[in-house]
Chain A
Amino acid sequence: MKARVLIRPKVGILDPQGVAVEQALPALGFSGVTDVRVGRMVELEIDDASQLEALCEKLLANTLIEDYEVELLGVEGVA
């Protein structure tokens, strides 16, 4: 099945990428945008979804500095 893992810097940890994006926006004419945080998204196909948590803990996220959440997108070929 298809799964999507969203990984983001933990709340309270400075995210320089987010700051850079936030500071670029006013120059492009976008105002009123705050708290920009940049994370990662990993999409994958997996046979056994029960492995997802261990896979995230061991590799996809470093839980000391990042939070993650998993979205299951259903079985390939099935609505």
Chain B
Amino acid sequence: MRFGVVRFPGTCDDFDAQEAAARVGDAELLWHGDKDLRGVDAVIVPGGFSYGDYLRVGAIARFAPVMEEVVEFARAGGPVLGICNGFQVLCEAGLLPGALLPNTGRRFLFRQVDLVVERGDTMFTSQSGGTGTTLSIPVKHTSGRFYAPETDLDAMEAGGQVLLRYAPGQNPNGSLRDIAGVTNEAGNVFGLMPHPEHAVDPLTGSTDGLTIFASMAAGVGAHV
């Protein structure tokens, strides 16, 4: 199992994502300017401030050469995980529904939050402990308010695309319906605002984030 972690100018969580993925498989960095995924089994688009967040968060990164390959990989069913800015990039690229708006509280947020696993039977959550499990994972962002029109939200819920929700009373950013993480319709592209790569070692208080990477590794293993 080999993970590829995309690095754009302004990405800052690439090493943590690589380090987290390396605990359950092999992981290497993919350069934004290369139209080449080097045959990896799964792609991670990590957090940071790609292209300085100019224009809109994630808006410019989607045009990076590597993203053409990521889109093709995703459309072919390859597993893609977008974390924070990576989530924003995947929304802008049309791989995930919705958009991320500035936090309602107008502040940069950096805190540990509880997330409820809405579905424990997916390739991103199979090792999470199952539906209804609570995961403790940090958020750190300024634009993390998940938004989509009501009809789209209904369709996402009906299609089982909402995998993670902020625990009751803990929605930090005003996300509609407390949504913290969603997949595409096919279920192979997952984006979330919290940072599972920052919750993989007891040193930082929680290892719950590791379950996301372990799930991906288990999923790819099962398909090979």
Contact = CB atoms under 8 A, between A and B. Distances in A.
Contact of B106 (A13, A20, A60, A62): A20
Interface residues of B, number: 18
Contact of A59 (B59, B101, B105, B147): B59
B99 A16 contact: no
A65 B97 CA distance: 12
Interface in B132-175: 147-149, 174
Interface range for A: 10 to 19
B35 interface: no
Contacts of B101: 13-14, 65
A60 to B, nearest CB: 7
Interface of A: 13-14, 16-17, 19-20, 40, 59-60, 62, 64-65
B103 A16 contact: yes
B148 A64 contact: yes
Given A64-B99, A65-B99, A16 B104 contact: yes
A65 B60 CA distance: 16
Nearest to A19: B106
A14 B99 CA distance: 13
Given A13-B147, A14-B174, A62 B103 contact: no
A62 B59 contact: yes
A62 B62 CA distance: 13
A16 B104 CA distance: 6
A36 to B, nearest CB: 13
Nearest to B101: A65
A10 B199 CA distance: 36
Given A13-B147, A64-B148, A59 B55 contact: yes
28 contacts: A13-B147, A14-B101, A14-B104, A14-B174, A16-B103, A16-B104, A16-B105, A17-B102, A17-B106, A19-B106, A20-B106, A40-B55, A59-B55, A59-B59, A59-B60, A59-B63, A60-B55, A62-B56, A62-B59, A62-B92, A62-B99, A64-B98, A64-B99, A64-B147, A64-B148, A65-B99, A65-B101, A65-B147
